Amino acid sequence: MSTRQVYLLGHPVRHSVSPAMHAAAFRELGIDARYDLRDVPLDDLGLAIARLREPNVLGANITVPHKQAAMPYLDEIAEAAAEIGAVNTICNRQGRLVGYNTDAPGFLAALAEAGFDPRGATVALLGAGGAARAVAHALAEADAAELFILNRTSDRAVSLAQALVARFGARAYWGLPATRQQLEEWVPRCALVVNCTTLGMHEPVSPLPSSALRPGMLVVDIIYNPPRTRLLAEAEAAGARTQNGLPMLVHQAAAAFALWTGQPAPVETMRAAAQAALAQGV
Ligand code: NAP
């Protein structure tokens, strides 16, 4: 068999640490495979996905903006990915393409690293975009007791909360506008706060007033670059525990690697490769 191939399909796909993580993992396990970036405009997505059926292709990652648009081109979608409404991983199973979402298990594995058990927890989720949908689904699946979803566009938060009620039953899921008043009211009563907005990625702003932070809570910012966002700096100053987005990034990649290869991923090798790539400014 010729060299196996995995692609990252997105538009644009610059600045990704995924090739470094997967190349290191293939090397460590002695798998003859490559992970390459493919910049694919929406008009070419169907053709790019059709090519994943070729025998030497193990599969692909799908990134912004194609996580929803890829779904109609697949033969099968795993239940959780269908519920989340997004795929980030495709496996080529003898010419049949199966879609998965590994952000959700990746997030739960990262929480476990932080020693946090979401069962019965009260959680504030900031954002209602693609990543927030995966995180919300993971938390509901893991039996979080209450979930306050706070988003700039409150309609999106409300519809995400309604989707969770429809799927998981009438547990306490709330969709709210991310106003200062709502954030100060609901966030301080939570054991876990997760930032799934892009706020803090491009400039040093926080999605939360620091007055909402409390000692002892765990604050997770799924942004991994920069590694210490303003939210995390303020959370530390308030006596909270913190985690950035690197553990989730590594674990979502590890879950995808295991799906493609059928082998457990070398997580620490992938983490070291991601850290090295980020340090080099990838
Ligand atoms: P997305 O679907 O575009 O959602 C963006 C979210 O941010 C929405 O809730 C949006 O609110 C909010 N937002 C954007 N600009 C805002 C502003 N100026 N003020 C207030 N809210 C704002 O993006 P995504 O794919 O979910 O990604 C979100 C973040 O997660 C990114 O930083 C991404 O890098 C990170 N991420 C990390 C991992 C990981 O493995 N660590 C995995 C996936 C994503 P509206 O609904 O009001 O527009």
DSSP string, the chain: -PPEEEEEEESS--S-SHHHHHHHHHHHHT--EEEEEEE--GGGHHHHHHGGGSTTEEEEEE-TT-TTTTGGG-SEE-HHHHHHT--SEEEEETTEEEEE--HHHHHHHHHHHTT---TT-EEEEE--SHHHHHHHHHHHHTT-SEEEEEESSHHHHHHHHHHHHHHH-SSEEEEEE--HHHHHHHGGG-SEEEE-SSTTTSSS--SS-GGG--TT-EEEE---SSSS-HHHHHHHHTT-EEE-SHHHHHHHHHHHHHHHHSS---HHHHHHHHHHHHHTT-
Specify the higher pLDDT residue, 207 or 169: 207
pLDDT average, residue stretch 212-230: 97
Give the pLDDT confidence score for residue 51 in this predicted structure: 98
107-135 pLDDT, tens digit each: 999 999 999 999 999 999 999 998 999 99
Same-domain status, 222 and 252: no
Residue nearest to atom 12 of ligand 1 (CA): 197
**Could you tell me the distance, in angstroms and rounded to a whole number, from the CA of residue 16 to the centre of ligand 1?**
16
Contact 53, 97 (CB under 8 A): yes
Q: Residue 199: CB within 6 Å of ligand 1?
A: yes
Domain containing residue 71: CATH number: 3.40.50.10860
Mean pLDDT of the chain: 96
pTM over 0.95: yes
Same-domain status, 239 and 253: no
Enumerate the active-site residues: 67
Same-domain status, 233 and 164: yes
Residue nearest to atom 39 of ligand 1 (CA): 249
Band of pLDDT at residue 187, cut at 50, 70 and 90: very high
**Could you tell me the distance, in angstroms and rounded to a whole number, from the CA of residue 107 to the centre of ligand 1?**
15
**Could you tell me the distance, in angstroms and rounded to a whole number, from the CA of residue 95 to the centre of ligand 1?**
33
pLDDT average, residue stretch 84-106: 97
Give the pLDDT confidence score for residue 192 in this predicted structure: 98
136-172 pLDDT, tens digit each: 999 999 999 999 999 999 999 999 999 999 999 878 9
Same-domain status, 130 and 220: yes
Give the pLDDT confidence score for residue 14 in this predicted structure: 78
Categorise residue 215: left if φ over 0, alpha if ψ from -120 to 50, beta otherwise: beta
Give the pLDDT confidence score for residue 72 in this predicted structure: 98
Same-domain status, 192 and 96: no
Same-domain status, 236 and 256: no
5-47 pLDDT, tens digit each: 999 999 988 778 999 999 999 999 999 999 999 999 999 999 9
Percent of the chain's residues with pLDDT above 70: 100
Q: Residue 153: CB within 6 Å of ligand 1?
A: yes
SS3 for 126-150 is ECCCHHHHHHHHHHHHCCCCEEEEE
Q: Relative to the CA of 197, which ligand 1 atom is closest? A: 7
Same-domain status, 114 and 239: yes
**Could you tell me the distance, in angstroms and rounded to a whole number, from the CA of residue 129 to the centre of ligand 1?**
6
Same-domain status, 131 and 64: no
Q: Residue 158: CB within 6 Å of ligand 1?
A: no
Identify the domain containing residue 60 by its residue range: 4-101+247-279
Same-domain status, 236 and 119: yes
Same-domain status, 207 and 131: yes
How far apart are the C-alpha atoms of 202 and 185, rounded to whole Å? 27
Band of pLDDT at residue 2, cut at 50, 70 and 90: confident
Same-domain status, 215 and 253: no
Residue nearest to atom 7 of ligand 1 (CA): 197
Give the pLDDT confidence score for residue 36 in this predicted structure: 96
Mutate to test the pocket of ligand 1, among 196, 246, 278 (most ligand atoms within 8 A of CB): 196
Same-domain status, 255 and 198: no
Domain containing residue 203: CATH number: 3.40.50.720
Band of pLDDT at residue 1, cut at 50, 70 and 90: low
Q: How many domains, the chain? A: 2
